[in-house]
Structure 1
Amino acid sequence: MPDSPAEPPHPGPLFLDLDGVLADFDRGVEVVTGKRPEELPLKSMWAALSRAPRFFDTLEFMHDAQELWAFCAPLRPTILTGLPLGTWAPAQKKRWVARMLGAHVPIITCMSRDKPRWSGPGHVLVDDRASAAEGWERKGGIFIHHTSAERSIARLQALGYGR
């Protein structure tokens, strides 16, 4: 009897960035400062955001985030989100995830430069910052540059997720 057709390799752990993938960071910055992030010096932007009560946990979904989340939620992803300097943001981001995605959803907060610590062969990261790719891929991970839910879902499907 011939062997069964080979199954594609099972996809590895899935990590989703928060800001710019699920949470609308840019819109939140505009609400607080009246300007888009790229119109502000980084230091003054972060100073303003750190003074805004509950900045991160009041962000809205990105326009297509619910479509992405509907696809990814059954895959049990981990949210892997970068932090600004200081101690004010981690609890806010955790509250956002609990309120918007569910208290059961795991979240890792770290400095953005440290995200590759969670990479490894077959580990997938969906992130809107293209600069995150190099470190992630260097450790054997697969990086998906998020520009839209539609494109990220297509890439995840091509990798074997959601079958």
Structure 2
Amino acid sequence: MRYRIFVDLDGVLVDFEKGVLEATGKRVDEQSPSEMWAVLARTPHFYARLDWLPGGRKLWHFLRPLGPTVLTGLPLGRWAAPQKREWCRIHLGPDVQVLTCLSRHKATTAQKVLQPGEIPVLIDDRESLRASWEAIGGIFIHHTSAEESIGALRILLTRSEGSDRPGP
């Protein structure tokens, strides 16, 4: 059993909400989505300049040896994907695979890159993506903190190692 790890960017590794507050002067929940996205689209290098989320580096250092793929959702328009790729190149390294799509298409986007025998694992802060991810046979880890996600992955990886061992 081989796991293919996918990790979201905003709200998992990157502090999107802090960036929104800095760019708009308002929290995400204090403005309409259309108002917020209009400002962000006009903010030079919005995504590329976002800070790490507290715990994001710790999670990444745990994930890095597992060869994770960044799977990140995009707003409408073409402005965000290059900025997200730039952030990943600078902070994660040029060798990290970055897939971008509308959030609701994460499961189908992941399916396109899976190799035979791989089980997709998604670490994401949006619980609403669980059903579509599990529908493709994937394992969904709802990210609430680096510690929780690392703990869930450790359990999963330990079980995986145990399944390869011969029985008694």
Check if 1:80 corresponds to 2:77: no
AA paired with 1:54? H
CA distance in 2, matches of 1:132, 1:25: 18
AA paired with 1:108? L
CA distance in 1, matches of 2:107, 2:145: 22
- After TM superposition, the structure 1 = structure 2 runs for residues 7-46 of structure 1, keeping only pairs within 5 Å, are 10-46=1-37
AA paired with 1:19? D
Check if 1:89 corresponds to 2:86: no
Deviation at 1:122, TM superposition (A): 2.1
CA distance in 1, matches of 2:2, 2:140: 13
Check if 1:50 corresponds to 2:47: no
- Structure having the higher helix fraction is 2
SS in 2 for 1:143: strand
CA distance in 2, matches of 1:11, 1:104: 21
AA paired with 1:145? H
Q: CA RMSD in A?
A: 1.6
Aligned 8 A contact 1:20 1:62 in 2: yes
- After TM superposition, the structure 1 = structure 2 runs for residues 119-130 of structure 1, keeping only pairs within 5 Å, are 119=111, 122-130=119-127
Correspondence for 2:61: 70
CA distance in 1, matches of 2:125, 2:50: 16
State the number of aligned residues. Answer: 154
CA deviations on 1:8-46 (whole Å, 9 max, x unpaired) are: xx4410000000000100000000011111111000000
Aligned 8 A contact 1:58 1:96 in 2: yes
CA deviations on 1:59-109 (whole Å, 9 max, x unpaired) are: 000011011011000001000000000000010000000001101111000
**How much identity, in percent, do the aligned residues show?**
48
AA paired with 1:83? L
List 4+ stretches of structure 1 deviating above 3 A.
none
AA paired with 1:48? V
Classify 1:108/1:83 alpha carbon distance in 2 versus 1 (closer, same or farther; 3 Å).
same
Correspondence for 2:144: 147
CA deviations on 1:126-158 (whole Å, 9 max, x unpaired) are: 000111111001111000000000000000011
Correspondence for 1:6: none
Structure 1 residue runs without a partner (length 5+) = 1-9
